[in-house]
Structure 1
Amino acid sequence: MIATILHRTAADCAEELPGAPPKHPSGTEREVFTARGKVFTLMTEVPRRPVVILKAEFGEARPLRDQYSHITPGYHMHKHWITLEGGDGVDKELVDELVTDSYRLVVAHLPEAGRPVDPHTYGRRTRAAR
């Protein structure tokens, strides 16, 4: 996937998730998607290229970085975040999976009564099934 399409693909996926409207907290520098006010996807070109920053499961961030050369540690984020860039091996299915996984992780930490979906069942897929 070329870098210029990466943001649109991630945004298209995020916009379909329940209760996840886009926000532009810093003008046009970045677009943020939240679940009940908690960030799960951040899109920016601040590092001088289009990137998508996503939350990753505790044990998945490093294996994802090892498997995909276009996944690096989260740009200016905590160690449980990853940065995704466009490039070979990055396709719509991978972007959709990573955005959905990030969303589920954030929703899982919301109070149960405020969750827009059940994070344990919503959008579950395994990389082995791909």
Structure 2
Amino acid sequence: MTAPGIAAYCLGLNGTSEDTPFPRSPGLTVFKVGGRIFAFCALGELPLKISLKCDPDDALRLREAHPAVVPGWHLNKRHWNTVTVGELPARMVRELIEDSYDLVVAGLPKAERLRLDRA
């Protein structure tokens, strides 16, 4: 997956927005749903890495199975993984993005979840 591919995939998820909210890190893009972040990615850097929310048990399992998956950089390491994109199959990266999105959506208020389901 490429940086434009990552951005397009994240933005293709229902209700997603893109932002660059950190003035000290102008190249860091965040993808949000319902105002909450589900992915961090420095789209202009190589190697391309993306930080994604993850179930704590899955996070550990993924780190043990894949050297390209490490604890989230500058994030809560229990709930976030940083993935080196080119070192994993594109399908797996897409699944990890979807899992992160789903975890964030599950934590949204019911009215917001219903709105996303209808859109």
Q: How many aligned residue pairs are there?
A: 113
Calculate the TM-score normalised by the size of structure 1: 0.77
Q: What is the distance in 2 between the residues matched to 1:83 and 1:36?
A: 22
Alignment equivalent of 1:71, drawn from 69, 77, 100: 69
Alignment equivalent of 1:42, drawn from 16, 40, 43: 40
Please state how far the C-alpha of 1:73 moved relative to its aligned partner.
Answer: 0.2
| 1:20 has 2:16 as partner | yes
Greater share of residues in helix: 2
Q: Which runs of 5+ in 1 are unaligned?
A: 119-130
Percent identity over the alignment is 31
Q: Deviations over 1:51-105 (max 9, x none)?
A: 10000012100000111110000001012100001344x1210111000000000
Q: What is the distance in 2 between the residues matched to 1:12 and 1:66?
A: 29
User: In the alignment, which residue of structure 2 is the partner of 1:117?
Assistant: 117
Calculate the TM-score normalised by the size of structure 2: 0.83
**Root-mean-square deviation (CA), in Å?**
2.3
Aligned amino acid, residue 21 of structure 2: P
| 1:52 has 2:50 as partner | yes
